[in-house]
């Protein structure tokens, strides 16, 4: 019998949490093939592929506007480091992929930030890496968002405060003055 001091410690496994949103998700059910709220194990030497072709992609999006393989994630260990992370690659010839504010064309790839928003077409995916030690595999845990993840990331919504330091929301009886916004801003 081994004492607790002699027992092997269990390695923690890196987990990639991904929260999906599409404005038509209730009508079109494009996420119906994804397993939500359940961790799935993926071998470290496999690519995690997302797209519409269920023969190629483990994460299938049921939408004719999605590429056969939209994007892939590669789990790897950084050179001369013990840090484990992911690399995301755009596999679509037709649709650009945006990771936070970085736009990726076909076959472009970057390291996935610790916490980020991935967008293509009308799809929004919030991704967060929960660090682990195991180099044999990683886990994915998928979630479905009820509201746009871009909107969720911007919450709480703050009212603009004029230079006087007095917010218009402090005066409920007065009408709020219009505010300017750039139509290209995402938040």
Contact 20, 125 (CB under 8 A): yes
Q: Is 149 exposed, middle or buried (0-12, 13-18, 19+ CB in 10 A)?
A: buried
Q: What 3 state SS string does 29-88 have?
A: CCCCCCCECCEEEEECCCCEEEECCCCCCCEECCCCCCCCCCEEEEEEECCCCCCEEEEE
What pTM was computed for the model?
Answer: 0.76
The DSSP letter of residue 12 is P
Tens digit of pLDDT for each residue in 9-36? 678 999 999 999 999 999 999 999 999 9
The DSSP letter of residue 152 is H
Which strand (E) or helix (H) includes residue 130?
strand 123-130
Contact 23, 122 (CB under 8 A): yes
Q: Going from the N-terminus, what domains does the chain have, and what CATH number goes with each?
A: 28-157 (2.60.200.20)
**Per-residue model confidence (pLDDT) at position 164:** 46
**Per-residue model confidence (pLDDT) at position 154:** 54
Tens digit of pLDDT for each residue in 165-185? 444 444 444 444 444 444 444
Token readout for 108 is 């472009």
Tens digit of pLDDT for each residue in 35-72? 998 999 999 999 999 999 999 999 999 999 999 999 99
The DSSP letter of residue 168 is G
On the question of pLDDT at 155 being above 70, the answer is no
Closest CA to 90 of 50, 143, 58: 50
Which strand (E) or helix (H) includes residue 114?
none
Closest CA to 59 of 50, 67, 68: 50
68-84 burial, b at 16+ Cβ within 10 Å, e below that, comes to ebbbbbbbeeeeeeeeb
Contacts of 160 (CB under 8 A, 6+ apart): 167, 179
Q: Return the C-alpha torsion angle 162, 167, 173, 178, nearest 10.
A: 40
């Amino acid at each position: 019998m081994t004492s607790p001091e002699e027992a092997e410690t269990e390695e923690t496994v890196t987990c990639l949490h991904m929260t999906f949103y599409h404005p038509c998700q209730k009508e079109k059910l494009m996420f119906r093939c994804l397993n939500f709220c359940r961790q799935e194990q993926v071998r470290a030497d496999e690519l995690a592929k997302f797209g519409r072709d269920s023969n190629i992609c483990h994460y299938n999006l049921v939408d004719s506007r999605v590429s056969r393989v939209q994007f892939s994630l590669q789990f790897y260990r950084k050179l001369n480091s013990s840090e484990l992370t992911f690399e995301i690659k755009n596999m679509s010839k037709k649709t650009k992929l945006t990771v936070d504010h970085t736009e990726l064309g076909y076959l472009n790839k970057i390291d996935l930030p610790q916490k980020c928003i991935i967008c293509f077409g009308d799809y929004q995916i919030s991704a967060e890496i929960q660090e682990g030690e195991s180099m044999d595999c990683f886990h994915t845990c998928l979630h479905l968002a009820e509201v746009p993840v871009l909107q969720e990331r911007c919450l709480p919504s703050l009212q603009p405060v004029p230079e006087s330091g007095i917010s218009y929301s402090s005066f409920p009886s007065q009408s709020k003055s219009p505010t300017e916004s750039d139509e290209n801003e995402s938040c």
